[in-house]
């Protein structure tokens, strides 16, 4: 049985980095399942190794794709045959940018019927990350204020939605005023347009000089520093992303704050 697969090769290879190929699907091992992929998105995290990062731990060529949803079409001898026909997230299996993915049955998460393929295919990275950060990493409570930059991003919006569920308040930082009303309707407590006002001054104003209890930085660089500066003494500053491509200056943060 053959399947179509997207592979990526050494960054800087004179040939194309991405290639569409055909491969033979190997027989399943004892506890494995074969998933016919129905939807697989492009997450920014998929592009990082394609551009040459993680070469120290990813053996190339490799199949990209961390997320996706599909239907189980075959099971190994020790995997339950009741999974056949079920929609699942094949977690920690092969890259999802292919027609079929082999995964361990124990790591396949069944998807309820009320969740469509589009939503299900994007559940693994951002939603679970946001949930774990709020409930386990920060353990943010209903009386606290969370400061989030890149608030109009997918994960930024998730933090805002979770604030409505758990009762904490989100100060959403954006760079374009046109997103403000939408984020407020989504549940943001306050919106700061960093292109028009100081993040620090605005945060101190709405928190009565206390600063945010916790901050989540997805940008890095000077934006991250301003976020750290706007977090109260004893609060938590979490570096989640690096959209600017520049690391937060931890030495400056520890020295000045």
Work out the number of other CB atoms within 10 angstroms of the CB of residue 68: 28
pLDDT score recorded for residue 218: 94
pLDDT value, residue 24: 93
d(CA 204, CA 187): 20
Distance CA 94, CA 189 (A): 40
Q: What is the model's pLDDT at position 13?
A: 62
CB 39 within 8 A of CB 69: yes
pLDDT at 191: 97
Neighbouring residues of 153: CB distance < 8 A, sequence distance ≥ 6: 218
Question: Tell me, what's the pLDDT at 52?
Answer: 77
Cα–Cα distance measured from residue 127 to residue 130, given in angstroms and rounded to the nearest whole number: 5
**How many CB atoms lie under 10 A from the CB of residue 135?**
12
Decide if 174 contacts 183 (C-beta within 8 A). Answer: yes
Cα separations in angstroms, 90 against 25, 106, 107, 181, 206: 16, 9, 7, 37, 44
Residue 161 has φ and ψ, to the nearest 5°, of -65, -40
Q: Per residue in 100-139, pLDDT tens?
A: 999 999 999 999 999 999 999 999 999 999 999 999 999 9
- DSSP annotation of 251 reads H
Q: What are phi and psi of 119, to 5 degrees?
A: -70, -45
Gap between the Cα atoms of 163 and 170, Å rounded: 7
pLDDT at res. 256? 78
Q: Packing angle between helix 199-206 and helix 221-229, nearest 10 degrees?
A: 30
Handedness of CA 15, 16, 22, 27 (dihedral sign): positive
User: Which residues of the chain are modeled with pLDDT < 50?
Assistant: none
Nearest to residue 98, comparing CAs of 58, 57, 70? 70
> What is the model's pLDDT at position 188?
97
Give CA–CA dist 149/217, Å, rounded.
6
Nearest by Cα to 245 from 103, 78, 51, 102: 51
């Amino acid at each position: 049985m053959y399947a179509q697969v997207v592979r990526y090769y050494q960054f800087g290879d004179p040939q194309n980095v991405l290639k569409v190929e055909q491969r033979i699907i190997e027989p399943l091992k004892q506890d494995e399942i074969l998933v016919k992929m129905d939807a697989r998105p492009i997450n920014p995290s998929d592009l990082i190794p394609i551009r040459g990062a993680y070469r120290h731990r990813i053996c190339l060529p490799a199949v990209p794709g961390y997320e996706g949803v599909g239907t189980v079409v075959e099971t190994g001898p020790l995997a339950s045959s009741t999974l056949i026909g079920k929609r699942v997230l094949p977690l920690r299996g092969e890259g999802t940018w292919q027609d079929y993915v082999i995964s361990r049955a124990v790591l396949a998460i069944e998807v309820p019927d009320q969740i469509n393929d589009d939503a299900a295919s994007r559940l693994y990275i951002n939603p679970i990350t946001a949930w774990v950060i709020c409930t386990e990493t920060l353990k943010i409570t209903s009386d606290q204020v969370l400061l989030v930059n890149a608030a109009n991003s997918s994960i930024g919006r998730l933090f805002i939605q979770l604030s409505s569920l758990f009762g904490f308040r989100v100060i959403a930082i954006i760079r374009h005023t046109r997103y403000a009303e939408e984020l407020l309707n989504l549940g943001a407590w306050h919106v700061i347009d960093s292109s028009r006002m100081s993040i620090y001054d605005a945060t101190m104003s709405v928190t009565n000089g206390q600063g945010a209890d916790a901050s989540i930085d997805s940008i890095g660089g000077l934006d991250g520093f301003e976020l750290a500066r706007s977090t109260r003494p004893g609060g938590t500053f979490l570096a989640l992303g690096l959209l600017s491509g520049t690391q937060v200056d931890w030495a400056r943060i520890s020295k000045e704050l």
